[in-house]
Amino acid sequence: MKKSILLGSLITAGLLSTNVQAQTYNDDTDAQGIYIGAGYGYLRADGDDNFDDNKDAYQAFLGYGFNKHFAIEGGFIDFGNYGNELANADTDGYTLGIKLGLPISDNVSVYVRGGQLWYETDYSVFGVKNDYDDEGLFAGLGVSYHINEDWSVKLDYTLYDNDLDVDSATDDIDDANFSTDLKHASLGFEYRF
């Protein structure tokens, strides 16, 4: 009886340890297919007229990798609130672009990405509130560490270029055109199906 319990325990432990071991990442095959991910990071809003602040931003993305060098990726980013007491904004946006990667080791890849940003900004300038929809461009670079064939951890830096034209907000403000670059440094994860 004790031998069968011991044997059963050893077999169970062996099966569990086999399932728990990390699977090796193969960039030739594992880079292909659909992936999803999310990131959280630090946002820096730089622009004219002291329209800057340091805030947090969140993003989610969905992509398709054709191979280890090329992917198409779309995403949503919440830039959060930024600005100062006189002029502040809350921006959300959608992105669509390409991602070009280069494996530098068995588990590490570097990449660049860029494309189109569509965004909506709710803003307040001297107490006058309005919203603004527009589009811009984005470009970024990053590094991925592939934990196994499914999971990766990413460190990413992206520049989003947008213009906030608030001439129509009030007649009391002359030349109220904020050219704002949103810089986002994030840490995230990616899951590949």
pLDDT (mean) for 70-94: 88
> What's the pLDDT tens digit per position in 119-153?
998 888 888 888 888 888 999 999 999 998 899 99
Q: Are 137 and 115 in contact (CB under 8 A)?
A: yes
Look up tokens 């006058």; give the residue. Answer: 128
Check whether 69 has a pLDDT greater than 90.
yes
Q: Are 61 and 37 in contact (CB under 8 A)?
A: yes
pLDDT at 37: 96
Going from N- to C-terminal start, the domains of the chain cover 34-192
Check whether 191 has a pLDDT greater than 70.
yes
Q: Please tell me the distance from the alpha carbon of residue 36 to that of residue 45, in angstroms, as a whole number.
A: 26
Adjacent-strand bridge partners of 27: none
The model's confidence at residue 25, banded by pLDDT at 50, 70 and 90, is low
Of 155, 158, 45, 47, the C-alpha closest to 97 is 158
CATH architecture for segment(s) 34-192: Beta Barrel (2.40)
Q: Are 138 and 162 in contact (CB under 8 A)?
A: no
Q: Please tell me the distance from the alpha carbon of residue 131 to that of residue 67, in angstroms, as a whole number.
A: 40
> What's the pLDDT tens digit per position in 174-188?
444 445 678 889 999
> What's the pLDDT tens digit per position in 111-121?
999 999 999 98
